[in-house]
């Protein structure tokens, strides 16, 4: 919980962090948690990212895009969906909807999540980009995510057999840095 005795620490100079650029975001994740003690998990994220996994978590997830346009892919009842989120726009992914945020270089945005509780479980999934079938689904305790996610993603990308669709035999390519084709 945010400490009410420390009001100064409750102000975050987001614009200044953006201007500081990549230096303010050490590490491969390019993400910074702004309120580590709050009930909200607020993360400032820069692009590019490179991923083809989908994430399923037990709470709604809010995207506020600040600079540049990102694409958030989701798997919904009606099928796959690609949503562009432009600067100044909010977008919410409902709890339980598989989502994959794709961020081009130079983009900046905030992600607001509900902080996980003990016992929460989340999923990481990969879908075939040829037939849409599920290739792999991994379930893990939310408390393990920070430590386990990196090795899980690396292990999947390194293993062509795991990236091969059991339905159609297509091999899901390893992801490169995301670039946005707004016509796609
Ligand atoms: Fe497939």
Q: What is the CATH number of the domain that holds 9?
A: 2.60.120.10
Same domain for 37 and 79, yes or no, is: yes
Same domain for 90 and 162, yes or no, is: no
State the residue range of the domain holding 37. 1-115
CA of 171 to the centre of ligand 1 (A): 8
Same domain for 71 and 14, yes or no, is: yes
Number of other residues whose CB lies within 10 A of the CB of residue 150: 12
CA atoms within 13 A on the CB side of 35: 23
Residue 30 confidence class, pLDDT cut points 50, 70, 90: low
Same domain for 50 and 129, yes or no, is: no
CA of 168 to the centre of ligand 1 (A): 4
Same domain for 89 and 131, yes or no, is: no
CA of 80 to the centre of ligand 1 (A): 14
Give the SS3 label for residue 82.
strand
Of the chain, the end-to-end C-alpha distance in Å amounts to 42
Same domain for 51 and 89, yes or no, is: yes
Same domain for 70 and 17, yes or no, is: yes
CA of 160 to the centre of ligand 1 (A): 14
Angle at alpha carbon of residue 166, lines to 163 and 172, rounded to 5°: 30
C-alpha–C-alpha distance, residues 88 and 137, integer Å? 33
Same domain for 25 and 52, yes or no, is: yes
Residue 140 has pLDDT above 90, yes or no: yes
The 8 Å CB, 24+ separation contacts for 117-122 are: 117/142, 118/143, 120/57, 120/58, 121/58, 122/55, 122/56, 122/57, 122/58
CA of 169 to the centre of ligand 1 (A): 6
C-alpha–C-alpha distance, residues 123 and 86, integer Å? 27
pTM value > 0.85 = yes
Number of domains, the chain? 2
C-alpha–C-alpha distance, residues 183 and 147, integer Å? 36
Same domain for 68 and 134, yes or no, is: no
CA of 135 to the centre of ligand 1 (A): 8
- Could you report the per-residue pLDDT of 67-115, keeping only the tens digit for each? 999 999 999 998 899 999 999 999 999 999 999 999 999 899 999 999 9
Same domain for 131 and 109, yes or no, is: no
């Amino acid at each position: 919980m945010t400490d009410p005795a420390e009001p100064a620490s409750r102000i975050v100079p987001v614009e200044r962090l953006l201007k500081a650029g990549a230096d303010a975001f050490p590490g491969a994740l390019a993400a910074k948690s702004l309120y580590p003690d709050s009930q909200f998990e607020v993360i400032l994220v820069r692009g590019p990212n490179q991923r083809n996994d989908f994430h399923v978590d037990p709470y709604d997830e809010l995207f506020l895009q600040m600079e540049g346009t990102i694409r958030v892919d989701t798997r919904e009842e009606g099928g796959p969906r690609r949503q562009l989120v432009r600067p100044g726009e909010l977008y919410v992914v409902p709890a339980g909807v598989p989502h994959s945020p794709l961020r081009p270089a130079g983009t900046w945005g905030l992600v607001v999540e509900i902080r996980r509780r003990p016992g929460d479980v989340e999923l990481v999934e990969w879908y075939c980009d040829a037939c849409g079938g599920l290739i792999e689904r991994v379930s893990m305790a939310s408390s393990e995510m920070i430590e386990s996610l990196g090795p899980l993603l690396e292990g999947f990308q390194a293993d062509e057999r795991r990236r091969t669709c059991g339905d159609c035999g297509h091999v899901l390519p390893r992801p490169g840095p995301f670039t946005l084709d707004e016509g796609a």
